[in-house]
Amino acid sequence: MAGSTILPFNRPIMMGSELQYMAEAIAGEKLSGDGPFTKKCSALLEQDLGVPKVLLTTSCTHALEMFALLLDIQPGDEVILPSFTFVSTVNAFALRGAQPVFLDVRPDTLNLDESLLEAKITSRTKAIAVVHYAGVGCEMDAILDIARRHGVSVVEDNAHGLFGKYKGKYLGTFGALAAQSFHETKNFTCGEGGALLINDPKLVDRAEIIREKGTNRSRFFRGLVDKYTWVDVGSSYLPSDILAAFLYAQLENREKIQALRKDVWERYSANLKDWATKREVRLPHIPSHCDQAYHMFYMLLPTLELRQGLIDHLRQHGIMSVFHYLPLHLSEMGLRLGGKRGDCPVTEHVSDQLIRLPFYNSLTAEDQQRVIESILEYDF
């Protein structure tokens, strides 16, 4: 729009010490993985969340790939997961030859619908991968109960949910394993990065080996073995300590970041409520037993045409907004694996309806007002 600056959908910002810490990492001449800043990030997350072991990874995608290796997923194993998620949730298991079993989501939170779960469990089911969409917890009590009764592992894709809680307990601490993302679109970032949260202590040793190219290098550095060697399959999932230095500066500011994002979320919610109610637009639902992670603000418009119309209307005002996941069971790969229209009706519907509004730590009240006013002008 002429005369006005473009308001982006996302803007990664530094919180203060990022460059200083990166310079320290470089000056310390320890640029590869598992240096001092990696250790600081892991210790901070372990302490805050109460997780026995946290390993930084190069991405959430790679932490998810480690899930599949750690659970020993074999060709033909079934993994139940929502169709409404990012491609990495499913790819991690598909890479090992697993058959994804796509489950629909609840219409209120857009999280895996636990009432449909038990019927999908078969003798081949190896794992249930939950995604805490928008950093709002899945119904973990019911999911864990079903999984326990059937002897199936639960793992959490918590890319959106760091520091969110379900019934007072941190997301990422329910499953045997959980994955975090530090991609530039997330609350805390180092550009590209992630973490593997290991809640089942039995998986720690093997996770360290898989992350270190299938070697027992971590045990060697701790003086537990006198030489290191190839002991298992693995890959290189360690981020450089330069990136960990950037991330540590962000994590140190976790309270400030979450408070900034809470303000943004609440301003959208308060200012859009009346407009939305009058037009049957749905705003996010946060169950009273969930503390959300303030990762995003989305709205569900009544139809695809109205959703596209709003994205176009905002673009004309120089404001960037986006839709989110396309149903995985209807993707090219999903169809090849047997997906059919109608398999996940809620997912198919909300995928057409959903719009995500600009959301970042440094979004000022003034810029946000510009977004809100443009939406209030969109009448139908």
Ligand X SMILES: Cc1ncc(COP(=O)(O)O)c(C=O)c1O
Contact flag: residue 61 with ligand X (CB under 6 A): yes
User: Residue 86 interacts with ligand X (CB under 6 A)?
Assistant: yes
What string marks each residue from 193 to 232 as x (binds ligand X by CB under 6 A) or -? Answer: -x--------------------------------------
61/215 with CB nearer ligand X: 61
CA distance 330 to 350: 14
Decide: 79 and 126 in contact? Cβ < 8 Å.
Answer: yes
Report how many residues bind ligand X under the rule CB under 6 A. Answer: 13
| Cα distance between residue 345 and residue 133, in whole Å | 17
CA 16 → CA 178, 248, 250, distances in Å? 28, 11, 8
Measured between alpha carbons, how far is 62 from 237 in angstroms, rounded to an integer? 7
Task: Return the residue of 42, 83, 89, 111 that touches ligand X, per CB under 6 A.
Answer: 89
Scan residues 297-336 and list those touching ligand X (CB under 6 A).
none
Q: Side chain identity at 369, as an amino acid letter?
A: Q
Examine residue 65 and tell whether it contacts ligand X (CB under 6 A): no
The interface region with ligand X, picked from 34-42, 86-94, 100-108, 291-299 by CB under 6 A, is 86-94
Candidate list 38, 109, 181, 215; residue touching ligand X; CB under 6 A:
181
Using CA atoms, how far apart are residues 179 and 291, in angstroms rounded to an integer?
19
Three-class DSSP category at 257: helix
Decide: is 293 part of the binding site for ligand X (CB under 6 A).
no
- CB-wise, 110 or 159, nearer to ligand X? 159
Given CA atoms 359, 360, 365, 367 in this order, what sign does their dihedral have? negative
40, 53, 183, 206: residue in contact with ligand X (rule CB under 6 A): 183
Is-contact 272 372, C-beta < 8 A?
yes
Task: Tell the smallest beta-carbon distance from residue 211 to ligand X (Å).
Answer: 15
Identify which range of 83-91, 222-230, 261-269, 302-310 contacts ligand X by CB under 6 A: 83-91
Whichever of 300 and 306 has its CB closer to ligand X, that residue is 300
Among 54, 56, 60, 101, binds ligand X (CB under 6 A): 60
Q: Is the Cα torsion angle 201, 203, 204, 205 positive or negative in sign?
A: positive
Token digits of residue 105: 């989501």
Q: Locate tokens 């959980």: which residue?
A: 178
C-alpha distances out from residue 208 to 32, 56, 201, Å: 16, 11, 12
Q: Is 156 in the site for ligand X (CB under 6 A)?
A: no
Under the binding rule (CB under 6 A), the answer on residue 159 touching ligand X is yes
Q: Site residues (CB under 6 A) for ligand X? A: 59-61, 85-86, 88-89, 131, 157, 159, 181, 183, 194
